[in-house]
Amino acid sequence: VAELSSKDTPISVKPDGVQRRYVGQIIQRFEKRGFKLVGLKMLQASDGLLSQHYRELVKKPFYPNLVDYMTSGPVVAMVWEGLNVVQSSRRMVGPTNPAEAPAGTVRGDLSLHVSRNVVHASDSVEGAEREIKLWFEVVEASAFFWIYVCLT
């Protein structure tokens, strides 16, 4: 696996966002912001993948409900590229609790409840790098471009 750019971040549309048909709207928000979509796949998240993704939450009492939610339907996993994309995407997505998310943010406009908050965004460059490696395999295509290939 090659080095990842700190200009990349994963954004995932969670099962409730997919079920409510928000994938296109969410993609459009990031494109309008000027970010470049460089990876995309739809998958059914496994318990193993989720235990790695949410490793700091595994011992929390709400973890089983989180896994039930995240395995209840498909997830659309994406990688976005751009200047300050991690920080900017966190602001675009809004706080985890939609009741605290301002209008204009993804969660402020589209989410119903803290446990059904439509979208995931990494909270740090280090977290983004770890999550991209978990959800995608990175293959160097040339000296100028990166291609994100689905792991199946």
46-79: pLDDT as tens digits: 999 999 999 999 999 999 999 999 999 999 999 9
pLDDT one-digit tens code per residue, 85-127: 999 999 999 999 999 999 999 999 999 999 999 999 999 999 9
Annotated binding residue at 30? Answer: no
Handedness of CA 72, 19, 40, 25 (dihedral sign): negative
Nearest to 119 by CA among 70, 72, 71: 70
Active site residue 120: yes
In whole angstroms, how far apart are CA 103 and each of 51, 78, 86, 115? 32, 23, 20, 19
Please identify which of the residues 75, 120, 125, 135 carries the catalytic annotation: 120
Annotated binding residue at 90? Answer: yes
pTM: 0.86
Q: Give 136's DSSP letter.
A: E
